[in-house]
Amino acid sequence: MEKTIDENKQGEALILDNKEGNSKKLFIESYGCQMNFSDSEIVASILSDQGFNTTQQLEEADLVLVNTCSIRDKAEQTVRKRLEKYNAVKRINPNMKVGVLGCMAERLKSKFLEEEKIVDLVVGPDAYKDLPNLLAEVDEGRDAINVILSKEETYGDISPVRLNSNGVTAFVSITRGCDNMCTFCVVPFTRGRERSRDPQSIIEEINDLWSKGYREVTLLGQNVDSYLWYGGGLKKNFEKASDFEKATAVNFSKLLELCAKAQPKMRFRFSTSNPQDMTLDVIETMAKFENICNYIHLPVQSGSDRILKAMNRLHTRQEYFELIDNIKRLIPDCAISQDMISGFPTETEEDHQDTLSLMEYVKYDFGFMFAYSERPGTLAARKLEDDIPEDVKKRRLNEIIQLQQKHSLLRTQEHVGKIEEVLIEKESKRSDQHWSGRNSQNTVVVFPKEHYKVGEFVNVKINDCTSATLIGQAVDYSKNNL
């Protein structure tokens, strides 16, 4: 599973402005990858039309939903603890309904209802439009479940409600599902087959976000590089259907270009990329447009060819190096981050050293690193024994983390002395006298507030750093924010 955020972080209760006339209250909490947080915005939009406003107060909710992650056992255990909390509140407020959404709902299906009896409804990632019908079932005293996976659903016709938004940055989903059957990953089973969203609806959503004051969009998908949309044009003008498809196809590189041109003053990022699917034209498009950020999240999972093959990662170590070399050649200041798994079944010390040497070659800016966690239903769980002792997994993971921290500090030090454009996102957590934003490379930058405001692009001279944060001083405006 390729991530954009740490799936083990605490879930967030999501908030939106109240819609006049709505009388019911929804409490929705999300865990896992950014796709789950994006899906929760879709759910909130659907339920807003059903009379629900969201609340921060669990105790006052009529409906409590948790959007779940199945990528690791720890993520599932966290959700179970939250469900225990919900049910403790429900004993005080028996009219409250509790539902499970997302990947864990898809994986466990009716077990929540039949065996554990801890929820009232179970809804998979492709069934959110069925929520009104499912809630009607619950109101009539029946358990409700819909975990049918779709080959078409993209929610492109739903206008997401921006939850807990800073009003500056937003996520726009461009694909759903995944066709890459990595042996360790549960995503193809919980989110279904890959499908791409109509580019016109994507551009319309981006234009709407700009009009509402948003200044940065991250294009989101399990594997954005495999984005492909056929359409636009008349088939009668082509002798063969395949000719029509080639002439009218929009791939990810073209989509990036469409977005960059549609809103030239808006910044664009994307996540997540798969090394086997990232093509040279994507890197060339990034280099061509100033408003496409110089940052790529490029999960590799292991530096060993033998382990990559066992993981069904359809690239080699050398092919990954060639991709890195092309990125650095075309975008010299591009930041790169990783996902890494330690202790995959049969991993030897030599395999582990291959991972460390790959990290030394790339010197990632930052990364997401985990010990292998066997997930039921995956090919690795069915075919490979989880044979690496936990203490070995943890020791190898710690070595990966220590090396990444060394490289992260090396990368942030490269910014010191430079003047870089920063988009102000929020107040610094550590000081109410400082702003926090990010540069093009996705590194957090902190600097004194002075007269600047959230949502402004500001040139900042970087004076100091830690391994995770740049510290600087604003020098002037860098963009007209009209």
185 annotated ligand-binding residue: yes
Flag whether 178 is marked binding: yes
Residue 465 in marked binding region:
no
Whether the CB-CB separation of 216 and 263 falls below 8 Å is answered with no
Residue with tokens 């105790």: 59
Tokens of 135: 């809630």
Which tokens hold the place of 230? 């056929």
Does the annotation place 293 within a ligand binding site? no
Which positions make up the binding site for [4Fe-4S] cluster?
33, 69, 103, 178, 182, 185
Which positions make up the binding site?
33, 69, 103, 178, 182, 185
